[in-house]
């Protein structure tokens, strides 16, 4: 038989477990409620007349048609994979292999290539403003918003057929699971299991083809309310590495493109709805 002290200790233990269960239940309920409210907020401002991201779309269209560089031409003859100047559906099939550059490129890499080779543009200032900030617009974010919006409603279909596309997919997969940095983190640390969250924010599982990765990858570029800026996948991945305490990846690096190939392939068939709105 249990002594009085043992009974008391067992009672305290049961009380603690009950309190923890109630607390966990409340936390889960609060997280669910918060996610519902966040989703309701997104729906309220998803209309083009309410979404600030469509200002970037408009600026991007103007930049696409603007003649500049030493050749004084616009980007309207830039081939994003569907033919010179053809935008409908082009973003849905990026990154992809480009024969003229003999490499796999994402949308920002390809834009930079067209600026330099088609327009003869000095991209130093463009790269300096690669990420927008209060009082400073980004040509790249504006152009990506405009180009990506031309694929809205279409299905994500990043090709992995050419040998170099297959190589990029393999590199991207390896990068996704590669641990490093001062915290020994990898993308998979946060994004390879179902049901994970940080504080009240759900963390989608991006390691396997399903609805979670489709909803994630089909929603970039996005307007970040917390930053008051449209952000591209280049920025999202750069910021992820910053948060993992890795060395900052170079802008337009092949590594980020490889990671995008891997994620987009997992999200194949996702409906693109951009620019979206996120917290």
Query: Which pLDDT tens digit goes with each residue over 7-29?
Result: 333 333 434 433 433 344 445 55
Sign of CA dihedral 168, 169, 174, 179: positive
240 counts as catalytic: yes
* Residues 150-204 pLDDT 10s: 999 999 999 999 999 999 999 999 999 999 999 999 999 999 999 998 877 889 9
CA distance 69 to 60: 17
Closest CA to 222 of 94, 53, 108, 47: 53
The segments of the chain whose pLDDT lies below 50 read 1-26
pLDDT of residue 9: 34
pLDDT of residue 41: 67
CA distance 41 to 36: 9
Closest CA to 263 of 221, 201, 222, 218: 218
Model-level pTM?
Answer: 0.85
The residue from 16, 187, 190, 240 that is catalytic is 240
pLDDT of residue 197: 87
Contacts of 227 (CB under 8 A, 6+ apart): none
pLDDT of residue 36: 73
CA distance 81 to 94: 8
């Amino acid at each position: 038989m249990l002594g009085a002290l043992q009974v008391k200790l067992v009672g305290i233990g049961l009380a603690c477990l009950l309190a923890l269960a109630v607390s966990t239940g409340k936390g889960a309920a609060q997280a669910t409620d918060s996610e519902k409210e966040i989703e309701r907020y997104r729906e309220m401002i998803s209309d083009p007349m309410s979404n600030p991201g469509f200002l970037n779309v408009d600026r991007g269209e103007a930049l696409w048609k603007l003649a500049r560089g030493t050749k004084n031409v616009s980007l309207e003859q830039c081939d994003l994979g569907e033919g010179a100047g053809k935008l409908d559906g082009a973003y849905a099939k990026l990154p992809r292999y480009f024969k003229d550059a003999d490499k796999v490129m994402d949308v920002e890499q390809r834009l930079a290539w067209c600026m330099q080779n088609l327009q003869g543009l000095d991209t130093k200032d463009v790269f300096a403003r690669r990420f927008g900030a209060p009082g400073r617009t980004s040509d790249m974010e504006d152009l990506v918003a405009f180009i990506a919006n031309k694929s809205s409603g279409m299905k994500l279909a990043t090709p992995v057929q050419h040998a170099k596309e297959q190589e990029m997919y393999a590199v991207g997969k390896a990068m996704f699971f590669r641990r490093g940095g001062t915290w020994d983190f990898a993308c998979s640390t946060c994004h390879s299991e179902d049901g994970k969250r940080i504080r009240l924010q759900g963390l989608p599982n991006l390691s396997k083809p399903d609805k979670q990765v489709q909803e994630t990858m089909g929603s970039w570029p996005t307007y970040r309310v917390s930053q008051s800026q449209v952000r591209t996948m280049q920025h999202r991945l750069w910021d992820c590495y910053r948060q993992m305490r890795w060395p900052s990846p170079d802008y337009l690096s092949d590594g980020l493109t490889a990671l995008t190939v891997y994620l987009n392939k997992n999200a194949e068939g996702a409906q693109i709805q951009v620019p979206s709105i996120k917290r």
